[in-house]
Structure 1
Amino acid sequence: MNGKATTTRTRLERGRSALGPALELVHTGRAPTRAVLTAELGVTRATAGAVAAELEALGLIQVDSRPAAAGSQGRPSHRLAVNDTGPVALAAQVHADGYRAALVGLGGEIVATDPGCVIVSADPAQVLGEVVDAGAALLKGTGRRCVGAGLAVPSAVAEPEGTALNPLHLAWPAGSPVRQIFAERVRAAGITGPAFTGNDVNLAALAEHRHGAGRGAKDLLCVATGHRGVGGALVLDGRLHSGSSGLALEVGHLTVNPDGRP
């Protein structure tokens, strides 16, 4: 192995632990150039270059080395963007008025979506099986590589069990093991990657923080009055604040004064 290849490998080994953080920075738009990536990661320019090259080789990002526009100061920095033909995640949502499945790429782009249905069975296993089947059909139609699946449900989801404590609007039994059921259906459909289930407003808050109204903010309060009831979620210092058992900010089910106004 020549000296240049050895140096490149050494730089990548030093920055390998930064691959995940680097991808998140590009994925959320906080590192549009290699110079910004270098500063955000706190590594050398060479290490950041090796990390960006590895992410590009994995098909996750695109590195544009064309020089900056005329008149710019300093050495031009390579531009970074997510690979719009890269892997996707299966995103599913179940609510009182139906369900929906979609494939979402890096950067939050919706690649494909299924219209879902307008009637939700009282059997969570049946509903989750249908929504996963819809997602599997989307994957087959697009031919994209799937790296995981996520499910949003209109219920507090207890941690670490992943049970839906109060799926009142779905007529599902309290304590339904939705995370276990969803993961089993995902595996049975041949979809690779981890499967996660969470409260719909919590997941909406994370999405708004990364790609929407809260982008660039350190903290975010989200209050949802969507399909039925009131939901809340809180992002503190870039992380979802869910409490010790996943029930923080369940504002729609909090009694402040038993004798107060409704």
Structure 2
Amino acid sequence: MAELVYRPVIGAALAMFKALDLKIDTQGSENIPRTGGAVLVSNHISYLDFIFTGLAALPQKRLVRFMAKESVFRHKISGPLMRGMKHIPVDRKQGEDAYQHALASLRSGEVIGVFPEATISQSFTLKSFKSGAARLAQEAGVPLIPMALWGTQRVWTKGRPRNFKRSHIPVTIRVGEPLEAPSDQYAGAITRRLREACQELLEAAQRAYPVRPKDASDTWWVPAHLGGTAPTPEQVKAAEAAG
């Protein structure tokens, strides 16, 4: 029943991206298993990242069930769609129900999508990873699939207006090789390896990105350590603490 909702949503997203003439470059989709459970783990730089992460699984004919904050499920438009696609609501104050839901889905052979940074990175660098993805993979006995997105922040990100014009923005997606999550290993150590894999993929996506800022006014989407004017992680933390 869920696919009666999911597939039309995918079609609508693809039509929108075609209308915007986004240049989507995906490599590594073959690393997502065609059958069985897996935890798909990505960086988080845009409100649309779940769509692009899901697109990476389409060549393998997989539909990803994402863990997302509960408020999205309460929205009158997005709520019915999220529930219809069997995504998983997360109450950050009481996350155990979401964890058990995701665990059951993995054991039934689903691919679960997780953003272990929990929130959008406004510095466009990797934040620290929470250990939930590793613990899920360990308990379900499934692999972790690291991946990275780049360019999605130019379409719609936190603190910036949406760019839904026909802007020809490139989006680069890189999917890495599966990481095993043995049950006898410390989840923190697995999480560190997972973050390192995502960091390598992010750097590869950035190197492959086909455009550079047009001028000094267009450097907002480039991290400070790469010469851009995005806030540093320290500046983001200071602003969050002050606000």
- With structure 2 as the length reference, what TM-score do the two structures score? 0.31
Q: Structure with the greater relative contact order (CA < 8 A, sep ≥ 6): 1 or 2?
A: 2
Q: Specify which structure has the higher proportion of strand.
A: 1
- With structure 1 as the length reference, what TM-score do the two structures score? 0.29
Between Structure 1 and Structure 2, whose CA radius of gyration is higher? 1
